[in-house]
Amino acid sequence: MGTVHDRNSRVSPLRAAEAEFLRVGERLELTAEEAGLVWPVARMPLVRVRAWLLRGEAATRDGDAVWRRVLARARADEAWMVGAVGLAMPGLRSAARRVAFGLAPDAADEVEAEILAGFLDAVAKTNPDWSRLAWRLRCRAQRAGLRARYAQARQPVVSGPVPDSAAPRRPWGHPDLVLADAVRHGVVTAAEAQLIAETRLENTPLTRVAAELGADYRTLQKRRGRAEKRLVDAIRAGEVSSAPAGAPTAAGDRRVLAAMVERNVLSADEARLIERTRLEGVPLTRIAAEAGAAYPTLAHQRRRAEARLRSALASGAVPARASARLTRLEVTRRRAA
């Protein structure tokens, strides 16, 4: 609604993921016994589980029970990773609407792709013993999208005539990006930024957030007030903004990827996937369609491959010159982290 996405003609990453979920979601079932819940039926497909959660009848602890089971399965089975994406789709769509507001279709697709990648990473790393799991997973996904948009804002603007219908390249004044920059500079913590975003931008009552976190209302109110004061002071001092200046990003070097294949860090298919999506800018949705593969599965494969690349850098397995090139390869994903 707030993006320049033409959702009737384009297959965005989230639409592709939703289509895959609807294809497999009826086969992925949870039982009331394993989730520790009371359902009207003994077994419920994930498609119906999502509808049950959306009706708002489930308490936070019931939703957490469902998510704990889904997380455990998604970490061991790629079909259940697709299921986890589908279960979280309402929250992911909400995050995408906010973060991709005002972007042109290709840029919005890249933000959606990073939101999905951030969610997949969250599924793999989030502590299942925490409460409010759906919210935490969405927050991590949204922050990944914000980093992608933040990186886009740092890229140089191509000179020349710009059509009247084109969206502004730099998202001046975007409140989510102000918060992201504040976190990056240590003005507020990620938790404080999320608290401000949820209660000020999404208009969630502070009483509800306090109840869901099991925190004292007045303590949370004071915490938010202190964070907001630091944020205001930083904005007035020019320490944070929604579109800071930065050096232009550089393309990666294909020779680095070839070296990774030679060292068995990556398979040839993984290197080509990274090359096409990161260097050539081919949408992952298009590659998934060409290969007849599920978008979430392909995104998950790319995420794991890129994690191995980062490990190779950290371990010194890559020569220094190649390391610099590889760092540039990922700059659009990691610059604002």
Q: Is the distance from CB of 187 to CB of 239 less than 8 angstroms?
A: yes
Contact 142, 91 (CB under 8 A): no
Query: In the structure, what pLDDT confidence band is assigned to residue 166 with cuts at 50, 70 and 90?
Result: very low
**More confident site: 35 or 111:** 111
Q: Which CATH number fits domain 173-236: 2.160.20, 1.20.120, 3.40.50, 1.10.10?
A: 1.10.10
Query: Is 40 a residue whose pLDDT tops 80?
Result: no
pLDDT band for 36, please (50, 70, 90 cuts): low
- Encode pLDDT of 240-289 as tens digits: 765 433 323 233 457 777 878 888 888 989 888 888 877 777 777 778 87
Contact 262, 318 (CB under 8 A): no
Query: CA of 168: how far to CAs of 80, 157, 220, 240, 283, in Å?
Result: 38, 10, 36, 20, 21
Q: Has residue 329 got a pLDDT over 90?
A: no
What are the residue ranges spanned by the domains of the chain?
Answer: 13-151, 173-236, 254-334
Whether residue 170 has pLDDT greater than 60: no
Residue of 184 and 119 predicted with greater confidence: 119
Residue 36: other Cβ atoms inside 10 A: 13
pLDDT band at 202 (very low <50, low <70, confident <90, very high): low
What are the structure tokens assigned to 248, written together?
């232009």
> What pLDDT, on a 0 to 100 scale, did the predictor assign at position 176?
67
pLDDT over 70 (residue 321)? no
Cα gap 172→157, rounded to integer Å:
14
pTM of the model: 0.59
**What does the pLDDT read at residue 93?**
92
